[in-house]
Amino acid sequence: MTLRALAIATKLVLTAFITTLTACTTSTQPPEAYLRLYGTAPTSTQHFTICNFFDCEETTVVTLSNTDWILIDNIFSPRANDSIEERERIASAVAQFEKTVAVKAGTGDDQARQQGMYRGSRQLDCIAETINTTTYLILLQERGLMQWHAPRYPLHRGLMSGQFPHNTAVMEDLKTNERYAVDAYFHANGVPPEIVPVSEWISGFAPEVIHNSP
C-alpha cells in the first residue's frame, strides 16, 4: 500500500470510528466527497475517471460514446414501476458500465473478490470497486435514469466490529429512505453487483456464490 493509500485508509478508519461512537451508520457528505479523496471527482456523463488497479493507485479517463450510452439507456426503458424493479435495473446498468469501461481501461480480467491479484492483470479491490460503482451511480443520476434512488456516501465495515475491512457504494431509496449497499467486489467484471440493505451489509453480508464470468 502506498503512503497516499495509507493516509486515505487512516482517514476512513477514523471516520468509521467516529461513526461508531456516535451510533450513526450513514454519512451526510455527498458521494462526490468520497471520490475527491482519490482524485476521481468531479464526473460528467461525457468524461470521467475510473480506477483500474488496487487502492485506485492507477486511473483511466474514460469517454463514453452515444452508442455506449444507448446500451445503458435501454436498460431503463421503459421506466421501472417501483424501487424494487429499479434496483434490478441499476444492477444491470453497473454490469454494463463495467463491460464498456473494460474495453477502454483494460479491466476486463478483474476477477471476483481479489482472485486475480497474482495474474498480472488489472485486478480491482473493494476500494477501487467502491469508487467506480459510486461513479456509475452518479452518472446514472446525472443522466436522469434513476427516479426511485439517489447515490449516497460509501460505507466501510470492519475493525470496529471485528470484521475484515471492506467498503461499498451506497444508494438510497427515495420513497422509504432505506439505504442499500451496491457491492461489485464479490463478482468478476461485468457481473451485476450485490444490492442489499445497508443493515444487512454492515452485519457482514457476503453472497454464498461468487461469479467469475458474466
Domain residues for the domain of 40 are 3-202
The pLDDT tens digits of the residues spanning 154-210 come to 999 986 666 778 999 999 999 999 999 999 998 888 899 999 999 999 998 787 766
Look at residue 28 in the predicted model and tell me its pLDDT.
87
At 149, phi and psi to the nearest 5?
-135, 165
In a domain, 13, yes or no: yes
Look at residue 189 in the predicted model and tell me its pLDDT.
86
In a domain, 34, yes or no: yes
In a domain, 212, yes or no: no
How many CB atoms neighbour CB 166 within 10 A? 22
In a domain, 89, yes or no: yes
Residue 107, pLDDT > 70, answer yes
CA distances from 14 to 9, 11, 21, 127, 130 (A): 9, 5, 11, 16, 18
In a domain, 208, yes or no: no
Residue 13, pLDDT > 70, answer no
Domain total of the chain: 1
